[in-house]
Amino acid sequence: MSNIVRIGVVDGAITPELHYSTLPLTAKIFNRTIPNSLVNKRFQRSHADQVAEVIYGYTKNISIFSANVFGPSNATDVDVVIDALEWMADLRMDIVNLSFGTIQYNKKFENVCEKIRNSGSIIVCSSPARGNVVFPAAFDSCTAVTGDARCAPNELSYINNGTALFGAHPYIYANNPECGGGSSFAAARFTGYVSDLLSHGTRENTLIEEIKSSCVYFGPERKLYGKK
């Protein structure tokens, strides 16, 4: 019998009509900049909708808890994110998915991530394939994931290059880059992959080693842009 995995998604709003599970969606708004007149307004399919769809592609044995920290302008501040993570800590998620990042370090942000991890939750964060180190992916309490085009949707890579520990398929829709993608969706794929393992009985204390042993690529992806 499969276990139900509790997943926290800290992102924008997940549209109820696009919810992909028979289990109820639990949602809470944290972004204080969202006007009351817009709270129930339907927007176009959001980043959070796409993240949730990717996760559901791996298993339906999940219950999603959505913390809406991004308004229609996709803006937020770190205190809003921290409030959302405190909510996640109180609810004791199995996994918390954070498909966003900032280059600004914040001690309170790090502390709340440590609190969640110490409670036994896995925190999955997106890390860009190139550019600056970002937070929360760079926190020791978080598992950083980046896009790796070598990976098929059900494959992972063990990168461990200082900015990301794992890599995953980067596209929203498998092998269809025209529809978009990036490290946000690689993180969502990793969350889905881990959810499936947990739903079938993998224990949290052996999870990372089991994932490492299942990886099909090792080391960072190397792109060739031409021959000398």
pLDDT reported for residue 30: 82
Query: Which residues does residue 65 pair with via DSSP β-bridges, in sequence order?
Result: 8, 26
Length of the chain: 228
Q: What is the largest CA-CA distance in the chain?
A: 59
pLDDT reported for residue 32: 56
Q: Please, are residues 47 and 11 in contact by the beta-carbon 8 Å criterion? A: yes
Return the domain boundaries, the chain: 5-218
pLDDT reported for residue 147: 96
Distance CA 64, CA 71 (A): 19
Query: For the CA atoms of the chain, what is the radius of gyration?
Result: 17
Q: Parallel, antiparallel, or unpaired: how do β-strands 166-168 and 156-158 relate?
A: antiparallel
Chain CA centroid to CA 17, Å: 21
pLDDT reported for residue 129: 85
pLDDT reported for residue 27: 84
**CB neighbourhood size of 24 (10 A):** 10
pLDDT reported for residue 227: 44
pLDDT reported for residue 228: 40
Q: Which of 100, 113, 184 is nearest to 142 (CA)?
A: 113
**CB neighbourhood size of 222 (10 A):** 6
Q: Please, are residues 124 and 145 in contact by the beta-carbon 8 Å criterion? A: yes
pLDDT reported for residue 76: 87
Which amino acid, 172?
I
Task: Give the pLDDT of the chain (228 residues) as one tens digit per residue.
Answer: 579 999 999 999 888 766 566 667 888 888 655 544 444 444 466 899 999 999 999 998 999 999 999 876 777 889 999 999 999 999 999 999 999 999 999 999 999 999 999 999 999 999 998 878 999 999 999 999 999 999 999 999 999 999 999 999 999 988 778 888 999 999 999 999 999 999 999 998 899 999 999 999 999 877 544 444
User: Residue 212: which H helix or E strand, with range?
Assistant: helix 207-214
Assign 204 to helix, strand or coil. Answer: helix
pLDDT reported for residue 223: 56
Distance CA 8, CA 167 (A): 21
Q: Which CATH number fits domain 5-218: 3.40.50.200, 3.30.1490.20, 3.40.1190.20, 1.20.1070.10?
A: 3.40.50.200
Taking the model in full, what pTM does it have? 0.89
- 26-29, strands of its sheet edge to edge: 26-29, 62-68, 5-11, 95-98, 122-126, 143-147, 166-168, 156-158, 217-218
Q: Parallel, antiparallel, or unpaired: how do β-strands 62-68 and 166-168 relate?
A: unpaired
pLDDT reported for residue 19: 59
